Amino acid sequence: MTAPRILIGGVPFGCDNVGDEAILECIVGILRHDCPDARLSVSTNDGPATARKLGVETLELFGFGPPYSRARMAAALRNHDVFIWGGATGLSDYPEIPLRMLQLARAAGRTTVLWGVGMNSELNPVWYTVLPGRRRTVLQWLSRCTGGRFDAVRAEEQRREGRARRRIYAELSQASLVVLRDEPSRREVQRCGGPLPQAIVGADSALLLEPTPLEQVRLPEAARQFLAAPGRKIGLCVSAQREIRDRAGLVALLDRLVAGGDTRLVFVPMNPITDALLMRGLRDAMRQPERALVVEGRYEPGEILTVAGTLDVVAASRLHLLILASILHVPIIGISRGSKVDNFLEPFGLTSVGSVESCDFGRLEGEFRRLLDDRAGFQRRSRQVRQDLLTRLERARVRLREVLGTAPAAAAGAGGQG
């Protein structure tokens, strides 16, 4: 049997997102272990570094920010036996791009797999909102003509979202395997069109990430000393994609947290450019900025995991910092930026302390203090949750091995086409 050629894509890999790179690293590890003869390719914006680190072939980043060739994307999908949509929350964040890749791969007779993909309760408004312009003006005029009884703008947005949800369901119903990240994501997919028999609930691949030994983490000496200093250390990550609206309220909370003298703050950017810039501003706005550290620079996911392990509690609006902290059973606090954060917190018996639009700083402060005082209680719950997640992930891997085992025969000769 010919070893399958597998293309991993559908996620903006190589775009300065530590969470996405953690997912990719772990998916490659899964495939190396479960299908060792497979030839792996990754669609990424950082081809040379990805190839060096993971030992894979790389292709341009199809579908996202940089200009790309649709013809080359179609040819790449034809030249592989399997296309794996490789995780993240793309079913709601950017569904149009991976769905097109699924469609092209399926049309070419290739095996298609969704692996650990999540879906929020709302689709990304960037894709389906009627933006200011001629069309919105006309729709608003139509609404006024009805005396406000009919909201034409909202009706158009609902039409767009309904069309997108129908397309999601249509493509997923024809995939060879659909592994969703969590049960709420499965329910959201069902809302798009009904039950999906081939869909199962797995878990995020990043849960398999291994920490880098602390002495090998490429920290500046000042940062290393800051993390090694005695006292409690609170980790925080605020996404620059959607900032916490009440910046002044957040800075006031940070000042209160460090006021006692035995607590320090560690800002952990999951995007080394945009998040780091935002969090430098937060640190500089504090009354005691010397009691806060921004972990600046580019780090591998395993290094960020190790940094998270040095902290006593972590709060984040970035899902994957919460996931990484949970690997080492560091207590976590979520700030909602879409339902994906609450979906992850639910098995821990936790809910977000509000959203980036309306964060409850009093509750956030209370959670910090509660979890600092009861780390052992969180860790007991966390160990059980992790075991449950890994069990789900292993069941999904069994199904993936079955699908990959049949893929070469189903797409024999794919490698020479295009």
Dump pLDDT digits (tens) for 368-389: 999 999 999 999 999 999 999 9
Q: Is 321 helix (H, G, I), strand (E, B) or coil?
A: helix
**C-alpha to C-alpha distance for 44 and 38, rounded to whole angstroms:** 19
CA dihedral 264, 21, 244, 352 (to 10 degrees): -80
User: Which pLDDT belongs to residue 328?
Assistant: 98
Examine domains 5-208+388-413 and 214-373 and report if their fold is the same.
yes
% of the chain beyond a pLDDT of 70: 97
Provide mean pLDDT across the span 351-378. 95
Q: What angle do CA 237, 238, 240 make, to 5 degrees?
A: 130
Residue 160 clears pLDDT 80, i.e. is over it: yes
Q: Is 234 helix (H, G, I), strand (E, B) or coil?
A: strand
Q: Is 298 helix (H, G, I), strand (E, B) or coil?
A: coil
**C-alpha to C-alpha distance for 193 and 47, rounded to whole angstroms:** 37
Residue 64 clears pLDDT 80, i.e. is over it: yes
Provide mean pLDDT across the span 7-13. 97
Closest CA to 234 of 381, 365, 376: 365
Helices 18-34 + 301-309 axis angle, to 10: 110
Q: Is 245 helix (H, G, I), strand (E, B) or coil?
A: coil
148 vs 367, higher pLDDT: 367
Provide mean pLDDT across the span 171-198. 95
Dump pLDDT digits (tens) for 302-344: 999 999 999 999 999 999 999 999 999 999 999 999 899 999 9
Provide mean pLDDT across the span 98-107. 95
Model confidence band, residue 1 (pLDDT cutoffs 50, 70, 90): low
**C-alpha to C-alpha distance for 116 and 182, rounded to whole angstroms:** 8
User: Which pLDDT belongs to residue 342?
Assistant: 96
Residue 298 clears pLDDT 90, i.e. is over it: yes
Q: What are the structure tokens assigned to 194, written together? A: 């009904």
The domains of the chain are located at 5-208+388-413, 214-373
| Selection from 14-18, 195-199, 411-415 with the highest mean pLDDT | 14-18
Q: Scan for tokens 């937060």, then name that residue.
A: 282
Closest CA to 297 of 6, 9, 41, 18: 18
Dump pLDDT digits (tens) for 324-334: 999 999 999 99
User: Which pLDDT belongs to residue 92?
Assistant: 94
User: Which pLDDT belongs to residue 39?
Assistant: 96
CATH H-level superfamily of 5-208+388-413: Glycogen Phosphorylase B; (3.40.50.2000)
User: Which pLDDT belongs to residue 411?
Assistant: 43
Q: What are the structure tokens assigned to 317, written together? A: 């609006």
Q: Scan for tokens 């006692």, then name that residue.
A: 260
Indicate the CATH number of 214-373 among 3.40.50.300, 3.30.390.10, 3.40.50.720, 3.40.50.2000. Answer: 3.40.50.2000
User: Which pLDDT belongs to residue 413?
Assistant: 41
